[in-house]
Amino acid sequence: MGEAIHTGPAPDGFRTERSWTISRVEDLGRLRRGLHRALAGCCTSESIDHLVLVANELATNALRHGSTPAIVRLMSNENEYLLEVIDRAVDAHPVVAGPRPAGQGGFGLLLARRLAEDVGFYTTPFAKHVWARFPVTSAARSVAAAG
């Protein structure tokens, strides 16, 4: 049996940078490319890869366990990015996968918890919101920290 993730709304103070509507698995490539373009030049490649991987996992979960279409939003403030995936399956609460054999899937939320600063979800009467928060790690900031 898996464990639950943080329950509650994402922190306030974020503005929407981009959003994508995801209805089919084929839309995931468009999401990944769009995130790479939106984050290019403002983050390290490792930070971008982490955020894109988590976005892909959460969007895949929305397609598999939610009801389409799902909305993926990239939001930011001065210090962080917030990724939010919204679907209409309000009764399908996300749960981190427990131990299971390789190849059986179910590790998307586990990856999100390892790569993001915080992960959570909340529901409204008509939607489920799963979110992940990431620090802004700029290439310039990483070079300064290393020097």
Q: What is the pLDDT of residues 93-111, one digit of tens each?
A: 887 777 666 555 567 888 8
Domain definitions of the chain by residue range: 6-146
- Note whether 73 and 84 are within 8 A (CB): yes
**Domain 6-146 of CATH type 3.50.50.60:** no
| pLDDT per residue as tens digits for the range 32-90 | 999 999 999 888 999 999 999 999 999 999 998 888 899 999 999 989 999 999 999 99
Pairwise CA distance, residues 35 & 50, whole Å: 11
Rounded to whole angstroms, the Cα distance separating 12 from 27 reads: 28
Q: Among candidates 98, 85, 68, 71, which has minimal Cα distance to 132?
A: 85
Residue 143 has pLDDT above 50, yes or no: no
Separation between Cα atoms, residue 79 and residue 14, nearest integer Å: 10
Averaged over 111-118, what is the pLDDT? 92
Helices of type H across the chain: 27-39, 45-65, 108-115, 139-146
